[in-house]
Amino acid sequence: MKYRIFSLIFALVLILSFAGCGNSDNAVSSAAVSVAETERTEIGEGSISFPFEVVVKDQTTAFLVHTEQTSVGKALQEVGLIAGDQNEYGLYVKTVNGITADYDTDHAYWAFFIDGSYADKGVDQTEIEAGKTYRFTYTES
């Protein structure tokens, strides 16, 4: 009897492990999306929402920002996630999620990305688009 139970459990484990070995890219990416969504902190209020990530070294902090603003920069400033100095080129972001990058001291800056690609304009000039993910990455040159 003891061997039958052991054999049954062993067979079940093998079946389940082989079931997970399929080459289904959709299953993997869906699982990754589900995990990322459950780990997001929701912040702000409003009918417009977008995912926002802060990357420092190997650690990512994810937010789902709710706002009535139309630009990413204004929305992030409104909820207190970014701060910086305004100049002739727009907002120069110095602080993200409470972490300050000081280029003059350690050659660090915040790089702004949209869907994983380096943004071609500043955060305050970027309109919120449905389905896009926005990210600031702490970068040292």
The boundaries of the domain holding residue 48 are 39-140
**DSSP-assigned letter for residue 53:** E
pTM, to two decimals: 0.73
Note the pLDDT tens digit of each residue in 49-68.
Answer: 999 999 999 999 999 999 99
Same domain (yes/no): 103, 133: yes
39 band by pLDDT with thresholds 50, 70 and 90: confident
Q: Residues near 70 by Cβ (< 8 Å), separated by ≥ 6?
A: 48, 127, 128
CATH number at residue 125: 2.170.130.30
Are the CB atoms for 18 and 100 separated by under 8 Å? no
Residues 107 and 120 in one domain: yes
Supply the mean pLDDT for the chain. Answer: 82
Is the pLDDT at 22 greater than 90, yes or no?
Answer: no
Residues 53 and 24 in one domain: no
**72 and 87 assigned to the same domain:** yes
Same domain, 81 and 57: yes
pLDDT at 43 over 60: yes
Give start and end residues of each alpha helix (H) in 20-66.
25-38
| Domain total in the chain | 2
